[in-house]
Structures are given as structure tokens and as C-alpha cells.
Chains A and B, each alone.
Chain A
Amino acid sequence: MRLTFKSVGSEWYKHRLTFAAAMILLAFMILFGRLFYLQVVEGEEFRRLSQNNCIRLRGISPARGIISDCNGTILVDNRPSFNLSIIPRDAKPKAETLERLLQYVHIPEETIAAVIDGKNGTAAYNPVLLKKDMNRDELAAVEVHKFDLPGIVVDIQPKRHYISRHAAHLIGYLGEISPDELKSGKFPDSRSGDYVGKYGVEKAAEKYLKGKAGGKQVEVNATGQVVRTLLTVDPVSGDNVWLTIDIELQKKAEALMDGLVGALVAVRPDSGEILAMVSSPSFDQNGFVDGMSHGEWRDLVSNPFYPLQNKAVSGEYPPASTYKIVTAMAGLEEGVIDAHTTFFCPGYYQFGDRIFRCWRKGGHGTVNVQKALAVSCDVFFYQTGQRLGVDRLARYAEACGLGQPTGVALSHESSGLIPTSAWKKKRFGVSWQKGETLSIAIGQGYNLATPLQMAVLTAAVANGGTLYRPQIIRKRENALGEIVYECEKEVVRRLPVGSKTLEIIKKGLWDVVNSPRGTARLARIDGIDISGKTGTAQVFSRKNEDTSWKEITLDHLKPHAWFIAYGVRHLDQIAVSVIVEHGEHGSSTAAPIAREVIRAYFNQPSKAISSSLGR
């Protein structure tokens, strides 16, 4: 193909080139025009902005959501903290300014030295923190002498304020975000130096409580003072969280547990909402916000009773006689016993060549399942357990929610332990001995449960057989007051039990409190229907089962005291589980505590009866 004109002449091209040239000229006219506008028309304004004044970006921290109890009583809010910073580039002359500053505010030497040594470069425009949380005198002095202190900036940061010192474990606390957390990608909007929830609801609802940071473009003058704000992006406050707990009930429960080591959980059987959660001993969350001395921190972590641990969800204890509910359930449903089956308890039971004792030396005589629950006869349950075998017991225990986390929205929840023969083989390499089943049947041995698990189980028995997921957050409102979340009861599963069996068990539990030989007569309240079960968890295993129930004088060897209960008045119910470490007897130590909590619950004038959720 020849590179010559075929169908168009050179004039045609020239024509089009001329048109193209005109378009290009037009485009350049636009560019010149714009340049003229920026440099000549608005030049003065831009010059002013660039030379004498500078534009800076300042972040605005969002207000963290407020935490209240179920009735709206505020438990945690924010207070302003005044932080002092220096912008090295603006603080000329640096050394003199710092000296003047030290007249008004105390600042540690190392901080001052670091600023003086600091490099002068582009980073010199970023503020360097000198002191956090100035007190009022310091703040007043700095503000008054502002003009003598170029480059010194006071900035308000919201700080967490734990008003009520109660429910510390449930509410949790904040801490500075760690490098690992930043890297993990779970905190996309956070930067180094931000405070994030580290424990409890503060952590569980971090995403919602945090809100969204805003910022502003400010114009600052030669000394770094903000002259005017150019543009603002408002921060979005975090959602406010309403917990399910009732603060009055919580206070009462904590007062009852004061001085003791242990936990208490109160829950609504019809919905799974937690009304109170206590772990004793507790701690002051404000220490995490205001800063603790080295000594204070050391005391907290080396305290042998572990105040930082939430025993309600992390503490694992042998359920002891409270477990007999499971054994009874399993025995009746599997048909190895029925309502009329009786065993004779002489105070001991011989299995193979070993003697298993009942807690009552003289024995209970002939008992059926209902009576056995009421008086907590070990022998009855040894025999029932033996007929069931450990694996069947384990199946029922797990169906009752034991041996697995309840799924409550708190971190560090323990699963407890429900042994099976396979488990033992895997763990110890040794087969299961039939005799061990007997200990399991009365809740000793390898069995472990948390107070929360027992409370949820008690609630399920109370409500007729439904295990609900424990709820800790009742609702969330955004900054505008709109409800963005309301909790709904969530069924985890139904208890592995028919209504007839449940009736029998409930009768037995009622007898525990109300019949003459019941082990928890101390828990009675006039006018309120209370049923429950005591438990005494051994702390160490006896060398031989022959040792009788001697008085143990060493406190740390005394057994733990359990009591689980539910109270009913008219249509309203509450379920409670209490454990007192080394409390010795469930009946005398734990039961009265549960009783008072139940009494307080029903006597409350402002109790919201209508707040059963999502029928």
C-alpha cells in the first residue's frame, strides 16, 4: 500500500488541523485564566494563608457512648481531661518558652529533655504531649499566660469516668491500644494512643461505644494559636448502651458478697437477661483511667484472690450437689429410675471394695428422687449415677449447657468441664473407672462449672425447660436518641427433659427450701415461692473416702459453698446462683445471700415488670 493520498486531499487535513489548533488554544486559555485567577485575583488571600498563617489538621475525639443500667441510671460517662502539648516549630524560642511553662505546670525532666533534643523537621508541626490531665490550677495558669507561651496548646480529651464502682467486671475498663491490636485489623479507625475497651462490656461493645472521630481544618497564626476554624467534620458520638442489670440489685448483691471471695449471678428466667453479676473481690476501674502507681498495680495482680478475674464467667468450680439436678434428670429420662424408685441410705454405699460416704453420717433411710433432692442424699445419686454411667451423665450435662461456654458477650468465658470416658483416655491415657462415676454423679471429681452456667441452668428449670442465651446489653441508642438495637431472647436449646420429669425435679427443689428436712430452710421468705439446691464443693480430694466430715480449721482447705435458687411471685421470676469460696456449707453461707437478693428483687418499687422481651 502506497503512503499517498487516496481519497482525501492535503487541504482536508489542514482544515482539521486548524480546527484542532483552535480547540487547543481554547483549552490553554482556560488554563491561563485559572492561573490568573489563583495568582492575581485571589493571590493576596492565598499568600496570606501560606505565609503568616498555616492550615493545620486537628482531630476531634468522639464522645464515647454512655453506659447505664436497665432503668437508665448512668453508670459510666465521660469527663473532660485537659492535656498540654507543645508544637516545637511554633514555640520559638523553645528553651525559654519551656522554662516559663515550668513555672505554672510541673512536667517531668525526661519529657522536657526529649522536646529540647527533638529534631527540627517537618514533624515539628505535630504536637508533642507534655502532660495529661492537668488540674484546674495548672489549667488556669496556662490559659492566663497564653500569650507568653507560643506553641503551647491545651486540648480537651474526653476521659472515661466510672461513676458507680459496681459491676466492675461486667462493665470492664479501657486501656491504650496495643501494637498487636493495631496490626490485627480489628480496630480500623483507631490510631496509636487511642483508648479501647479491654475487658467487659467496654470491650464487647467497643465498636458501638467508640463513635467516629471528626476533625477540623484550622488556621493558626505564627505562634500556633488557632485563629479560626475553616472547616469542621463533626465527630459522631458513640452509641449509648443500656445494660440488663439493675444497679440497685447489683449494689445489694455486692454488699452481701463484700469481704467474701466468690461470685453471684442473677438472671431473668423468661429472657436470659442478667440482672446482677458480682465477682468478689472487685477493683476500682477508675484506676485504669487515671493511672495507678506501680505499687497499686502490683497489689492488684499479686492479690491471691485475683480481683481482676470475673469469677462469674471465668471461675470454674466443682458444682457439687447442685449437679444432682442433672443426675436426677438423666435418671428419670433414661428410665433407670422413676418417681417412685427408692434406695436405702444407711450413710454409706459400698461399691466394689470401696466405701462411698453420704454427708449425713447416720444416713437418710429410704428415699425417692424427690426426697433425695430435698435432703441431698449422696447415696441415692451414687446408685442412680452408677446405673447411668459417666457417658450418659455427660450427655445430659452437656444438654443442660454445662461443659461449654454460654455464649455471653464477655471475653474470657470458661467452658467448665464435663468428663467422659473418651476424655479421660485422651487426657490421662488411663481408662475410666466405674467408681469415679459415683463422684461425678454428686458433682465432685473432674466436674467443673461456672456460676453463670449454673444460673442459666437454674433459670431453665424455673421457666419450664428453655436454656436462654445470657444477655448483658438491653438496648443501644445512637447519639440522636434513636434505638438501634434491642435485645431479644435467644433460645440456645431446650433441656433434655419432659414436663413430667421437670415437675418432679421442681418439687424436689421446692422441698429443699420448704420441707422440714430440706437443706436450705434458711432461704425461706414469706410470700415468695423459693426453690433451690445447695452444694458443698470439696477443695481437695481426700486420701481415702473413709475420712469423716471433720471440722477443717485451715480456711483455704474449706470447701466452697454453692446455692442455686429461683424465686417466683405471681408471674414474675428470678434465678440466682451464688458461690462463696471456702464458705464451707452452701446452706449456711450461700443460701442466705441468695435469699436477700431475691427479697430485694421482689421488693423493689421501681422494678420494671413489663420488660419481658419479645414474647
Chain B
Amino acid sequence: MMVDRRLIQHFDWGLLFLTLTICAIGLLALHSAVSADLDGAGRSFFFKQMIWYGAGFVAIGVVIVVDYRNIDRWSYIIYGGVIVMLIGVLVFGKIAGGSRRWLVLGPVTIQPSELAKLAVMIILARYFSRRVKPQGFSLWELAYPSMFVLLPFFLIVNQPDLGTGLTIILISGSMALFVKIERRTFIFLGMLGSIIMPIVWFFLKEYQQQRILTFLNPNRDPLGAGYHIIQSKIAIGSGMMLGKGFLKGTQNTLSFLPEQHTDFIFSVMAEEWGFIGASLTIFIFLAVIILGLNIAYRCKDPFGTILSFGVVALIFWQTFINLGMVMGLLPVVGMPLPLISYGGSSVLTIMICIGILMNVGMRQFPSD
């Protein structure tokens, strides 16, 4: 009983409040995004997302119950399970929109690549927490965990899903930088990176190359991908200060925006709620991240600290890339905005991440 009360004492109510707020915002935005075709397809997205939110909160509840230090013990099992699922996707996954990313399990369709982000993060936290030292990690010491990162990376990039693969690399890189890399190793990797970039270019598929070139100069392809970026900027910009009002976004209702219930949902919001509403939303994301960093700050053991940081990195990168993309700062890649973009697996993953943060935060007792 004593332990329960302390847990409740240290529970991060602020984080819970922010999460609920984001979900509310998400429902409003989604409702507007699908209002254009409220015949069938649109309606189902809305209700499905609500159900995923519900499932997400249940997941948070489950994740909180067990001490996060146990996750350390199960990290290999989790990782193995995710790899099995990824292989399953390649073998008998569902194909939609030109790629094979989903597994159908009865009434539910999940996207294992989303869960892979979690698995990699946990494995890395486990590895790094045991071997942290002031000088940082050498190349050799990084080689072993790199394999754990590269395996799911290649499985995912083959789906093809460059966006998620990139996220995994970014999260892993952020975590490695956080636990410090030896200076000379860092320089070496930097040089290696600049050599690999042109090689990677050749492996990119035609449309992916086009996307990058178009991003660098949207006017290059004003009839194709450049058109979408231009439309998104118009949607966002036309919101001006106060927005056009709920359900009144013309860019949205005229279907100028592609993927308006997933990747470009922020554009819908910005058009309708203006700078006030849009910056408030961005601020809420920033607040979640700050709270996450705070939990890491208060954490007294390496595993918890690094794990929390990993969660923060995941949320940060997804948010930054999605917002950067719809505002024309980054090339177009498939990247959902956490909790707001439609997508069950993404919602679940982010909720689990929040749950992990709460878990770590709750258990930092002064006496330990």
C-alpha cells in the first residue's frame, strides 16, 4: 500500500493532461479532414481513431503497472518478437498503396515497423546503460549495437518504407550521441557518412530521388510532387492569424491536399485555426518533450535515463519531420504526426512511449 501512494504522488499528471489534450485536438482535426467525404470512408476513420485512442490509454495503464526496470530484462524478447513480425510482413504482409507494410491479424491491421522503433530503442537503452563511460563509445563498441539497428532497418526499407527506416536511424543516432561518442570515432563516422550519402543515392528508388530533388527545388516538378508541397503551404499560409474556422478550410474541402487525414493533417489544422491554433499545437508537443526530458533529468539510473531520452527522441523526430515536411522545410516522406495523424499502430506506439515516460517518472523515489 505504501508503494502505491508514492507511485500516485510521483505520477506525472501534467503529461497525462497534455496527452488528453492532444487526443482531443486530434479528433477535431480528423473530423475536419474527413468531412469532405462523410460517406462511409470518412466516418470510419474517425471512429477507428477513437477506438485506437481508447486502446492506447489502456496500453498506458498496462505499461505503468510493471516497473520499467523489468523492460530491461525483456528487451531481447521484445526485439525478437518485432523482428519475427517484420519478417512476417515481408512474407505475407498486406499490400496497400504500393508497399507492403501491414500484418492482418483478424479484425486488426498492425504496422510492425512502428513497434520496431520501440524495440530498437529499448535494446539500445539496455546496451548503452551498461557501458557508459566519460570518454564515450568507440567505433568498435558501436559496431555491435549497430547490427541491432541495421537488421530492422533493412527489413523496413525493403517494404519499402524509407520514412520509418530513417526514423529508426535518427533515434539510434540521437541516443548514441546522447551517451557520447569518442571524438575521433565521431569524426570518422562523419566522414563515412558523407561518402555513403552518394552511394545511398543510387539505391534510392526513382520516386524517392525525385522527392529529394523536388524538395530542393519544388518548381522543378510543379505538376507532380511539387504541386502537393505548394498546396500544403497555401493551406497553412491561408490560415493567417485566426484561421478560417472549424470545417471551413477550403483547401481541405476541395481536396487539394493529399493524405489530408494522415501526413498532411497539420495543414488542415493550420488552415482552420490559424497561427494561434497551430502554434499552440506545436507548443503542446514541445511541452510533452520538455516534460519527457524532465523525467529523464530526475531519473537516477542509467537505463531509465537513456530509455526516457530515447522516447523523447522518437517523439521529437517524428514531430519535427512531419511539421518540417508540410511547411516545405524538408522533403516529403511518409511521417505521421504523433497522435494526430490517423493510424492505429502509430497511435499505439506513441501511447506506449508516453506510458514508458510515466513509468520512469513515477518510480523516482528520493529514498532509492
Chain A residues engaging chain B, CB cutoff 8 angstroms: 1, 3-8, 10, 12-14, 16-17, 20-21, 24-25, 27-28, 30-32, 34-36, 38-40, 42-47, 49-51, 54-55, 57, 122, 125, 215, 217, 230-231, 233
Contact A3 B223 (CB under 8 A): no
B259 touches A (CB below 8 Å): no
Q: In angstroms, how far is the closest chain B Cβ from the Cβ of A165? A: 39
| Docked complex: B43-73 residues within 8 A CB-CB of A | 69, 72
B240, A20: Cβ atoms under 8 Å? Answer: no
Known: A17-B309, A32-B282, A231-B222. A8 touches B241 (CB 8 A): no
User: Shortest Cβ distance from A6 into chain B, in angstroms?
Assistant: 7
Please judge, given known A-B contacts A3-B69, A217-B222, whether A31 and B282 are in contact too, CB under 8 Å: yes
Q: Does B122 contact A (CB under 8 A)?
A: no
A55 in contact with B230 (CB, 8 Å): yes
**Quick one: which of A12, A46, A231 contacts B238, CB cutoff 8 A?**
A46
For B329, the chain A residues whose CB sits under 8 A away are: 30-31, 34
Cβ-defined contact, A3 with B279, below 8 A: no
A49–B240 contact, CB under 8 A?
A: no
In the A-B complex, list the 9 residue pairs whose CB atoms are closest, starting with the nearest: A46-B237, A43-B240, A50-B238, A231-B222, A38-B237, A39-B275, A47-B238, A122-B255, A46-B238
Known contacts A24-B289, A46-B237, A122-B254; decide if A17 and B282 are in contact (CB<8 Å).
no
Residues A8 and B133 in contact, CB atoms below 8 Å apart: yes
**Pick the contact of A39 from B36, B219, B239, B300 — CB < 8 Å?**
B239
Complexed CA–CA distance, A125 and B253 (Å): 12
Contacts of B250 in A (CB 8 A): 50-51
Q: Within the assembled complex, what's the spacing in Å between the Cα atoms of A16 and B282?
A: 24
Contact at A231–B219, with CB atoms within 8 Å? yes
Q: Please list 17 pairs of residues, one from A and one from B, whose beta carbons are closer than 8 Å in the complex, sorted by A's number.
A: A3-B301, A17-B297, A21-B290, A21-B293, A35-B327, A39-B240, A40-B240, A42-B237, A43-B239, A43-B275, A45-B237, A47-B240, A49-B238, A122-B255, A217-B222, A230-B222, A233-B222
In the complex, chain B residues whose CB is within 8 Å of the CB of A36: 275, 279
Known A-B contacts A24-B316, A32-B279, A43-B237; the reply to A6 vs B178 at CB < 8 A is: no
Which residues of B are in contact with A by a Cβ distance under 8 Å? 36, 69, 72, 129-130, 132-134, 174, 178, 180, 219, 222-223, 227, 230-231, 233-241, 250-251, 254-256, 270-271, 274-275, 278-279, 282, 286, 289-290, 293, 296-297, 300-303, 305, 309, 312, 316, 320, 323-324, 327-329
Assess whether B223 is in contact with A215, with CB atoms less than 8 Å apart.
yes
> In the complex the two chains form, is B320's CB within 8 Å of A27's CB?
yes
Contacts of A27 on B, CB cut-off 8 Å?
A: 316, 320
Residue from B132, B251, B286 within 8 A of A28 (CB atoms): B286
Q: Which chain B residues border A55 with CB–CB below 8 Å?
A: 230-231, 234, 256
Nearest-neighbour CB distance to chain A for B270, whole angstroms, equals 7
Interchain CB contact under 8 A, A38 and B296: no
Determine whether the beta carbon of B303 is less than 8 Å from that of A3.
Answer: yes
Q: Tell me, in angstroms, the Cα distance from A16 to B174 when the chains sit together.
A: 12
Complex Cα distance, B73 from A1, in Å, reads 11
- Complex Cα distance, B279 from A217, in Å, reads 31
Which B residues are CB-close (under 8 A) to A16? 178, 180
- Inter-chain contact B275/A35, CB cutoff 8 Å: yes
Closest to B223 in A: A215
State A20–B227 Cα separation when bound (angstroms): 35
The answer to whether A47 and B297 have CB atoms under 8 Å apart is no
CA distance A54 to B256 in the complex (A): 10
Cβ contact within 8 Å between B320 and A31: yes
CB of A46 within 8 A of CB of B293, answer no
Closest to B327 in A: A34
B219 contacts which chain A residues (CB < 8 A)?
A: 231
Residue of B nearest to A9 (CB): B134
Give A46 to B236 CA distance when docked, in angstroms.
8
A125 to B133, CA, bound (A): 63
Q: How far is the CB of A278 from chain B (nearest CB, A)?
A: 45
- Determine the chain A residues whose CB is within 8 A of the CB of B309 once the complex forms: 17, 20
Q: Beyond A20-B293, A42-B237, A46-B237, list 15 extra A-B contacts (CB 8 Å).
A: A8-B132, A14-B297, A24-B293, A30-B329, A31-B320, A31-B329, A32-B279, A32-B282, A38-B237, A43-B241, A46-B234, A47-B238, A49-B238, A51-B238, A55-B230
CB of A118 to closest CB in B, whole Å: 17
- Min Cβ gap B125→A in Å is 11
Report the separation of the CA atoms of residues A64 and B328 in the bound assembly, to the nearest whole angstrom.
37
Chain A residues with CB under 8 Å of B134's CB are 7-8, 12
Residues of B within 8 A of A30 (CB): 329
A49 — which chain B residues lie within 8 A by C-beta?
A: 234, 238
The complex places the Cα of A478 from the Cα of B324 at a distance, in Å, of: 43
**B302 and A3: CB pair below 8 A?**
yes
B233 touches A38 (CB 8 A): yes
Q: Are A39 and B241 in contact (CB under 8 A)?
A: yes
A1 — which chain B residues lie within 8 A by C-beta?
130
Contacts of B302 in A (CB 8 A): 3, 5, 8, 13
